[in-house]
Amino acid sequence: MSVDAPDQGAAPEAVTGRAESTSTWAALRPLVLRLHFYAGLLIAPLLLVAAVSGLLYSLSFQAEKFVYRDELTAPVSGPYLPLGAQVDAAREARPDATVTAVWPAYEEGMTTRVLMDAPGVAEGRSLAVFVDPYTTGIRGELPSYGSSGALPLRAWLDELHRDLHLGDVGRYYSELAASWLWVVALGGLLLWLGRRRRTKRDLVLPERGAKGRRRTLSWHGSVGLWAVTGLVLLSATGLTWSRYAGENIGALQDRLGGATPTVSAAIGEGGAAGGDGHEGHGGTGHGTQHQGADIGIDVAVAAAHEAGVDGRIAVTLPSDGTGYVVKETDTQYPVHLDSVAVDPADGRVIDELRFADYPLLAKLTRFGIDGHMGVLFGLANQLVLAALMGALILLIVWGYRMWWLRRPTKERTLGAGRPAPRGAWRKVPVTVLLPLAAATAAAGWFVPMLGISLLVFLAVDVAVGAAARTRARTGS
């Protein structure tokens, strides 16, 4: 995420080679460099906030296990008691609440999580009552958020990363950061690959013996090369949750037949249960309690097991017009995300959905979302996210350091450095310039925050250029 201006520390032979080059890249490079400079200078603060909050979020999974260990664990003291008894214990503990879903303990020493719609719980959250599966004792209760079951610590960090706890207004920050991250990352990659260097080693590792700004640039470029793929993927998956680009992505996915399917729990004229691929950043749905014959949660789970849905599961209780929904929730690859709907009157499986039957685009979306959230590969996924966020923080710091080292110091103490000269676009061949302009316009339309901010950048640049010309005429 360089906020660097044209490189003045390159070897003389490199400068000569670039000056003599008449290739398309030689014409494009000043344009890319100018965009990289302005985007790095103005967007980097938002990326820094996103990186720091993302780093904290990636570490929150392990912190959550420690902070809430009393609620999440229970001493092993015999066989599991029936789920129905565990749910009844939660109801007795919170008679003012309505049970909406149950997450049975899936490993020894873990508690069962009973999710409830309770008064006083914020919108978009459920009250999680943690039940000892061996004794039905209550281990505690906490607010729970989304299908990932984020508890208060992780939910707080998730909201910090997503909207700075400012609601819809704060989402503009994260959408703007995600909109520009891939542009800055790919622009930096092009600039780094386009440099001439003494050895091939200097492409992938910091240059030996380099000092000052050249050393900083070497670290910035080599680390950026290693991180660019992950940063682009984070940008793309992050945009799926954004307000404006997210709507366009969802519409495009639907047109391409890649919408995430859902299992239908409708009985007769009832509604349908299920969820889309973005449950991790949404609340748990709450419905009215089911009225009529009910086989009970234990029979429903047994029916799901017979249908091949077992292991780590979540059970949504029936409401008026719908049955039980039993979903596998093991997102660690290979994922187990099959689901079935069970009729509460007779335990018959009325619908089933296998992850293998998802459209390819829906599968890729699921993998991307889970990877962004740090749950696809468990601890390994979280460590990769932490490493990427650490790399992004360093790239931003190094970028600002290069800017600081190149600041003008003769006329004034502070300055914004020197971007590539204006008018570089005039040297770009028309056969390249027109498709590039069309692609930029399309990207700006599809990712509106990118397009709007780019127009702002251009307006500021034109204004600064006009002011500079006015000063020059006045001085002369």
Residue 255, classified by CB atoms within 10 Å of its CB into exposed (0-12), middle (13-18) or buried (19+), is exposed
Give the count of domains, the chain.
Answer: 2
What's the pLDDT at 415?
53
Q: Provide the residue type at 295 as one letter.
A: I
Domain assignment of residue 283, given as a range: 261-358
Dig out the tokens for 469 from the structure.
Answer: 């010309």
Are 397 and 469 within one domain? yes
In a domain, 149, yes or no: no
Residues 305 and 424 in one domain: no
Which of 393, 273, 288 has the alpha carbon at shortest distance from 342? 273
Taking alpha carbons only, the member of 7, 449, 470, 463 closest to residue 247 is 449
Say yes or no: 351 and 269 in one domain. yes
- Say whether both 337 and 465 belong to one domain: no
Number of other CB atoms surrounding residue 298 within 10 Å: 15
Residue 278 lies in a domain: yes
What pLDDT sits at residue 408?
Answer: 59
Residues 382 and 464 in one domain: yes
Q: Could you tell me if residue 123 is inside a domain?
A: no
Note whether 313 and 188 are same-domain residues.
no
Q: Does a structural domain hold residue 289?
A: yes
> For residue 141, what is the enclosing H or E element?
strand 138-145
Q: Is residue 299 part of a domain?
A: yes
Do β-strands 112-117 and 125-131 pair in parallel, antiparallel, or remain unpaired?
Answer: antiparallel
H helix runs in 68-193, sequence order: 69-72, 83-93, 152-163, 168-193
Q: In Å, how far from its chain's centre is CA 139?
A: 32
307 is written with which tokens? Answer: 């249908």
- The residue out of 358, 391, 410 marking a domain boundary is 358
- Most distant CA pair in the chain, distance: 92
Query: Do 410 and 438 fall into the same domain?
Result: yes
Distance CA 149, CA 125 (A): 9
Q: Are residues 460 and 391 in the same domain?
A: yes
- One domain, residues 229 and 296: no
Question: Among the three residues 297, 324, 358, which one is the final residue of a domain in this structure?
Answer: 358
Of 328, 358, 388, the one marking the end of a domain is 358
Query: Is 83 contained in some domain?
Result: no
Q: Looking at the structure, tell me whether residues 354 and 410 fall in a common domain.
A: no
CB 322 within 8 A of CB 267: yes
Residues 170, 223, single domain; the answer is yes
- The reported pLDDT for the residue numbered 26 is 82
> What residues have CB less than 8 Å from 325, skipping those under 6 apart?
263, 265, 273, 274, 315, 316, 339, 340, 341, 342
395 to 97, 215, 389, 391, 413: CA distances (angstroms): 49, 13, 10, 6, 24
Whether residue 431 lies inside any domain: the answer is yes
d(CA 336, CA 354): 9
Per-residue pLDDT of the chain (476 residues; tens, 9 = 90+): 554 444 444 444 444 444 434 477 888 888 888 888 888 888 999 999 999 999 999 999 999 999 999 999 999 999 999 999 999 999 999 999 999 999 999 999 999 999 999 998 988 899 999 999 999 999 999 999 988 889 999 999 999 999 999 988 899 999 999 999 999 999 999 999 988 888 888 899 998 888 888 999 999 999 999 999 999 999 999 999 899 999 999 999 999 998 999 999 998 643 333 344 444 444 333 445 666 678 999 999 999 999 999 999 999 999 888 999 999 999 988 899 999 999 999 999 999 999 999 999 999 999 999 999 999 999 999 999 999 999 999 999 999 998 888 775 545 544 555 556 666 677 788 888 899 999 999 999 999 999 999 998 888 878 877 887 888 788 76
Q: Are residues 212 and 273 in the same domain?
A: no
68 falls within a domain: no
Q: What is the pLDDT of residue 272?
A: 38
What pLDDT score was predicted for residue 5?
45
